Structure 1
Amino acid sequence: MTTTYDCSIDDERARGLEHAQRAISENKCVVLPTDTVYGIGADAFSPQAVTMLLVSKGRSRTMPPPVLIPRINALDGLATEVSADARKLAEAFWPGGLTLILHAQPSLDWDLGETKGTVALRMPADEVALELLTLTGPLAVSSANRTGQAPAQTAAAAREQLADSVEVYLEGGPRPLEGEAGVPSTIVDATGPVLRVVRDGAVSLERLREHVPGVLGLGEVPTASEEPAPGTDPEATSAGSTAVSDADRVAGN
């Protein structure tokens, strides 16, 4: 049965998180607040649950959802070939408005859609989201709206669009919080030898370059010295864009 919980009330928040954890374990979808807008989440390791998420939104497997994680040390369990520069950005901007596209761990039993072996990861700066992620582990999360509609800024607005396709709605008040801009996460493709921004967002290029000076801005072309070495896969630096498609208005969003 679909239920909404007011997370501003401690007891109701605890009941809501418990119900949401149970729903995730049963391959059902939940709606949760994040630091950008509301997201619809499902067990990242359940193909059935991810399919339900995509169907609820009215999108295809060509638009795979990003994955939200509860802590930075989950990075190495989900991604491989994480460069020192990618790690610097994660350490600087997680939790927060940065999504990193990385090579997915090939040994993991998951199916997020047509990702070309990549995964988009983010750690959100939202207490309710992090509490739930701590209980459930990584969640596939996309903006809580039907494709083509405006992303929901409250759980109530998400319910108007997603209705009974979601088991639990965690209402945490308006997102983003009052006084904060509703800017999506910045997405950085970290699958190649040079990090590059593939979507501008909450973290500016200037801030990224404070930690990794060589990050390429949106549309910038690498110099000859930054080009992939001969014999490397020319798809390597572009495959990551598939992992985000309309790309995580919640995450990542």
Structure 2
Amino acid sequence: MRIVRPAELDSAACAIEAGELVIVPTARWYMICADASNIDASGSIFKGKRRPSGKSLAYVAPSLAVCEQHFQLGAEARKLAETFWPGDLALLLPWRNPEDAAQHAAVGSPALTTIAPGVLGELAARAKVPVAATTANISGDAGPDDLGPAVTLDEVHVFLAASGLTVSVIVDGGVCPAANHMTIVDCFTPEAKLVRTGLVHQRAVTAALGREVRTS
């Protein structure tokens, strides 16, 4: 396992392309990433995190143009993407091609899709394969001592020890300041529905769409 700085991100991209796992920082917390089309690599994340199979990883698109190649964006989805991407917002989007959905089962159908800022977005832009990502923590561990997803390298190592996962590269981004989730909006139907609030506030989603948006 190598620990590198964000300036050395090419090594993380190469690891993803080779079917290995990497961990990168975001403003929210550290994320564990794999090739979204690699069943074994993505599957190992589900197993290590003890994550339910129906709880998808996020598809991190490198650009809106690439996103549009694979997914259908209705008027409201496009408005949210243009307003908040890159950013801390994920959209549930329908695939254009059922074969793509089958090849990227880890990110679901509709797919949890985002264009991320910072290191995670740069990783998606550099990798020659689609990137799937999720938080570095054990799923469903909400006991009194649960800190949530890792926000420091020490917490990343605690997660790796608990999960048994092997990663090839960890990008050291220091302390992640926000410790909060992405906002998720369901754009599978023409009228978008708020699934989960996070760093992008419900009021911001409402303002972007010009109508009141409530949690579904």
Q: What TM-score bracket applies, with the shorter chain setting the length?
A: 0.7 to 0.9
Q: Is the 8 A contact 2:88 2:199 kept in 1?
A: yes
1:187 is aligned to 2:188: no
Q: How does 1:94-243 map onto structure 2 within 5 Å?
A: 94-105=85-96, 106-108=98-100, 110-113=103-106, 115=108, 117-126=109-118, 128-136=119-127, 137-147=129-139, 148=141, 149=146, 150-163=148-161, 165-176=166-177, 181-214=178-211, 216-219=213-216
How many corresponding residue pairs?
A: 204
Structure-1-length-normalised TM-score: 0.74
TM superposition shift of 1:47: 1.2
2:52 to 48, 57, 60: 60
CA distance change for structure 1 residues 216 and 210 in 2, over 3 Å: closer, same or farther?
Answer: closer
Cα-to-partner distance string for 1:82-138 (whole Å, 9 max, x where unaligned)? 1011101100001111110011232315233483x2101111221x22221111153
- Deviation for aligned residue 1:194: 1.2
2:15 corresponds to 1:23: yes
Unaligned runs of 5+ in 2: none
The CA deviation at 1:154 is 2.1
- Output the CA distance in 1 between the equivalents of 2:17 and 2:106: 20
Contact 1:144 1:151 in 2 (8 A): yes
CA contact (8 A) 1:101 1:120 kept: yes
Q: Structure 1: which 5+ residue stretches go unaligned?
A: 8-12, 220-253
SS in 1 for 2:189: coil
8 Å CA contact 1:69–1:121 kept in 2: the answer is yes
Given the superposition, is the C-alpha separation of residues 161 and 76 from structure 1 closer, same or farther in structure 2, using an over 3 Å criterion? same
Q: Distance in 2 between matches of 1:144 and 1:52?
A: 13
Measure, in 2, the Cα distance between the counterparts of 1:154 and 1:123.
23
The 2-side partners of 1:119 and 1:31 are apart by 21
Counterpart-to-counterpart distance in 2, 1:77 and 1:90:
14
Higher helix share: 2
Output the CA distance in 1 between the equivalents of 2:203 and 2:107. 32
What's 1:88 paired with? Answer: 79
Kindly provide the amino acid, as one letter, of the partner of residue 156 in structure 2. A
Task: Tell me what 2:65 maps to.
Answer: 73
Query: Percent identity, aligned pairs only?
Result: 28
1:35 aligned partner:
27
Deviations 1:201-250 (A, max 9, x none): 1122222222212353114xxxxxxxxxxxxxxxxxxxxxxxxxxxxxxx
